[in-house]
Every structure is written in C-alpha cells, then in structure tokens.
Amino acid sequence: MINLGYNERRVIEMLRRQGGLSRSELARELEVSAPTLTRLTCSLIDNGLILEEAEPRAPNGRGKPQTAVKLNPDGLFTVGVYFNPDDIRVCVADLEGHIRAEHIQELHDHSFNHIMGLAVPSVRKVIKKAGIDKDRLLGCGLSFPGHFSRNPGHVFQIPQFAGWHDVDVNADFEPLFGMPVFHENDGKAAILSELYYGAGRNLRNFVMIWLTYGIGGAVVVQRQLYRGTNGNAGEFGGLFPKSHPRPSGQDLCNLLTNSGVQIRRLREIDESYREHPGMREWLDRATDQLRSLSLTVARTLDPGAIVFGGSLPDWIIRHFVQHLGSLEILGEDFHVEPPEIRLSDMSDNPHLGAATIPLYRATTPSYYSGRALKGWS
C-alpha cells in the first residue's frame, strides 16, 4: 500500500508530460519550495515510483550539474482488457505506458461467459509473460463499447453485447480477475491513453471522437476526464439516431451489404473499396456529418484539438482528418483559431487505454480523494 498525496501526483504528472527534470526545475514548475520538493521526491523514490538519472546534467550546459529525476517504468504496472465485436485485447503496461506483454484474439461468440472465459486466462498469461513484480500491480482496467445508465454499475450495450444487460460492472468483474477492476467505456479509455501518451500529452483541453461500429468519444477539461452528470459526456453517437444514416462503422457495413458487398468485419474494408459507389456515397455523407459535429464541439467546448480515432480502417479516419482540418470547413464565421484536427496514433492499442484507467485513478492530481492503493490481498 502507498499513500500518494496531491503534490506527489503532481510530480508524477509533470514527469510523465516532460520527462526527466531536475529538482529545481520541478520546484519551479510546481511552485513549491525546495524543501517541499525534496520531501516529495524522496517519498516517491522510496516507493520506487521515480528514479534519479544515472548521469548528472548541467542546466543549459552552464553552472553546477544537477541530477534529474524521472519516472521509474517498473514502479507500477496495470492490466488492460479491451474488447469489441471483432476481438479481445489484453496487455500489461508499465508506468510509462509501454506494453510489456499482450494477447489478441478474435471473437466469434459475444456472450459474457465466453468473453470472460477468454479474458481471465489471458490476463494470467500476460502477467506471467511480462515477468513483473505482482506487488507493483495496481489493478485491471476494463473497456468495451457502451454508455452508462443511471446506475453507474450498469452499462447499456451495443447490439452485439445486448445479452449483457444484467451484468453489474462493479460486482461481476473483480471476483473474476482477483484484483481491483476499474471500468470506462472504450471512448473514455481511449482518451486517457491520448492524455498520457498520445496527441493530448501537452494539451489541457481536447476532445476525442471515437469511431468504431458505433460513435463514441470523450472530453478532457484541464487535464482531467470530464464524465458529466451520468458518466456520458462525449457520447456523440446520440446526435445521430440509429434510425437514420449515421457516420458509424455499422452503418457503413449495412450500406455495403445492401449494395451486394458482404462485409463481416470493419478491417475487411481496405482501400480497394475507396472507389465503390456505396463507399463514396458514405464517405461524402459521413464527412458532412462529422464536420457538423466538429463545429458543434468547437463552438461549445473550445478545445485545443479534436482527435479522431477508433477501429474504423485507418484510411477512412485519415480521410476525415484531411477533410476537416481547416478553418473554412469549421465554419465561415469562426473568427478565432479553430481546434487542431488530429489523427490518433493510439487506435491500434485500445487495450493500453484500458490499462491507463487504474493509473489515472491512482496518480492523476485531479482524481485525488485520499489514499491510492497498490496491490491487493
């Protein structure tokens, strides 16, 4: 068990964003006194969360060399479990977000028992493969498509997981994995990995639009995940009713199927389909819909960036980013600098997003509510 105070979390956050820093640099950035910073770093070093760099360095090449401190990648580990209609992905990640071991397996049965029957042994397998110190295993993050109901333990599922309506996230998962389990849906888990390791690493405010079989997303405000009253902030799919054409992967699959092309999985839609009449029709319409969504996001939230990612084929998401990335497209009377439209580089690792959930809960300053726990009995 470790106690992470608010300022200790700030140290970890600063080192995660900027890399190794000297104590004087940290004290200046955090606006704390040198004795306070020394106490904070000594506590974090004693707990194995940060390290002193082996070689001292001089600031700007002048003056007395200073020893920098940096995150210890072996200081904490987390497990990530992510699944969507196509596959299940499991990993072990370290404190710097490096995946130490992973397992990916296609899904053909979407029942709770089948998926958990794959997930639980896969978690044991990746922990063993990573060869980590289990006493430094913080917990398991779990993510899958869906949005939250009024009961925070229950999640409304996409059609492929409709049989999960009686599953309580808080009560039903932790006993299976034998460790603390933390859950966010796929869009919110994805934005956490963007916040720590991707496009949002140096942004205070940004939005993710997460395109898979459905449409999801998430919002970061002042470097914390904004969940909203019922946990559903950023659920952009609700702006596009399922009874109408929408910019979702399932909508695209249905359109292609109706035009005589049999598509089983999103990844089957490679660039050879670019000139298919149905594909061109869908791209034009979906781009217009996402343009409207981007303008709404820009006007209401004023983020520094809008990041597009998801399990839609990469070439399709790149198409959206390329066609949405200018001031004129966001609106002719948008007179301030618009948010940057960015392509996520984390879409291939949604399980890292899941693994980031327990780390976010335990180390982010904005989530501080007392004691952070490490390990379990």
Q: Which tokens is 203 given?
A: 């942004």
Q: Tell me: domain 77-189+349-367, CATH 3.40.50.460, correct?
A: no
Residues 6+ positions from 1 with CB-CB distance below 8 Å = 371, 373, 374, 375
Phi, psi of 137 (to 5 degrees): -90, 115
Q: Residue 122: what are its φ and ψ, rounded to 5°?
A: -65, -40
- Domain with residues 200-343, CATH architecture: 2-Layer Sandwich (3.30)
Predicted confidence (pLDDT) per residue in 78-129, tens digit: 999 999 999 999 999 999 999 999 999 999 988 888 999 999 999 999 999 9
**Residues 308, 211: contact at Cβ < 8 Å?**
yes
Confidence label for 55 from pLDDT (cuts 50, 70 and 90): low
The answer to whether domain 77-189+349-367 and domain 200-343 are alike in fold is yes
- How far CA 155 is from CA of 22, 113, 168, 215, 257, in Å, comes to 44, 17, 8, 16, 29
Q: Is the pLDDT of residue 279 over 90?
A: yes
Main-chain dihedrals φ then ψ at residue 182, nearest 5 degrees: -120, 135
Q: Give tens-digit pLDDT for 132-155.
A: 998 999 999 999 887 665 555 555
As a whole number of angstroms, the distance between CA 271 and CA 273 comes to 5
Contact 126, 81 (CB under 8 A): no
The domain made up of 6-71 has a fold known as: Arc Repressor Mutant, subunit A (1.10.10)
State residue 373's pLDDT score.
Answer: 47
Closest alpha carbon to 308 in 229, 202, 200, 222: 200
Residue extents of the structural domains in the chain: 6-71, 77-189+349-367, 200-343
Can you tell me the distance from the alpha carbon of 86 to that of 186, in angstroms, rounded to the nearest whole number? Answer: 14
Q: Which residue has the higher pLDDT, 377 or 197?
A: 197
pTM: 0.90
Range 187-203 burial, b when 16+ CB lie within 10 A, else e: bbbbbbbbbbbbbbeeb
The helix-helix angle for 249-258 and 277-301 (nearest 10°) equals 160
